[in-house]
Amino acid sequence: MPIEALVFDAYGTLFDVHSVITRCEQLWPGKGAAVSQLWRTKQLEYTWQRSLMQRYEDFERVTGDGLRYACKQLRLDCDDSHVSILMDEYRRLTTFPEIKSALPRLKGKKLAILSNGTPGMLDAVVRHNGLEQVLDGVISVDELRIYKPDPRVYRLAVTKLGVARESIGFVSSNCWDACGAKNFGFRAFWINRTAAPVDQLDASPDAILGSLSDLLRLLN
C-alpha cells in the first residue's frame, strides 16, 4: 500500500536534544556534554520504568527528574533555578540541519509528530522552529498516560490521522522506537545518525537512513 502519512518522533529525530549542551556548559563548565548525555539516558529510562510500574507522570516531570538525577550522579549543584533554565531550553531545541528544508518537500502526505512530550512542550518547540505550518498534527502520549513503545501509542496516530496503519510511515532516530512502530504494523524508518547497530527486538526497521534527506530520496 502507498504511504499516505508520515509520523515523526520529535526528540532526537526532528529536534536535537543535545542542543542543550551549550547552556549546560555555561552552568557547569567542562561538564555540559556529560550532563546532556546522562540526562537523556535517564529521561528515556524513566519513561520505560514508569510505564512498567504503571506510575505515569508526564514528560515534563520525567525530564526534570532525569536532569536532577544526572546532576546528582555527576556531583553537580542543581537547584530549582537550574532545572527551570534547562526546561526552558527544551522548548527552544534546535532542529537537525536538514529538517526545515526536507519536511516541506514531503507535503502531499499527512505529516504529524507522535511524541512522549507533553502538548505544551511540543507546541512550544514546534512554534519556536516555525514548523506549525508544515505539520498536520502534533500527537502526545499524554492523553493515554503511557509511553512509547507501547502499541497503544502508535494506534493513537491511526485514530488521529484516520489513516490505516499499513499506509503510515514512522520515522525515528531511536531504533527501539522504530522497532516498536514496525511491531505495531507501520512502515518504519530509522534515522541512524551514529552508525549504531540495530536493536535486537525481532522487529527491524524497513530502512535505515543517515538523515531525513535520505527518506526523500527513498520515497522518490
With a CB cutoff of 8 Å and minimum separation 6, the contacts of 142 are 58, 59, 118, 119
Length of the chain: 220
Q: Which of 9, 142, 150, 177 is catalytic?
A: 9
C-alpha cell at 17: 536534544
Within its chain, how far is the Cα of 15 from the centroid?
A: 7
* Complete DSSP assignment for 54-75: T----HHHHHHHHHHHHHHHTT
Question: Hey, how many other C-beta atoms are within 10 angstroms of the C-beta on 88?
Answer: 11
Contact status, residue 139 vs residue 113, Cβ threshold 8 Å: yes
C-alpha cell at 15: 529536534
**Annotated catalytic, 88?**
no
Active site residues: 9
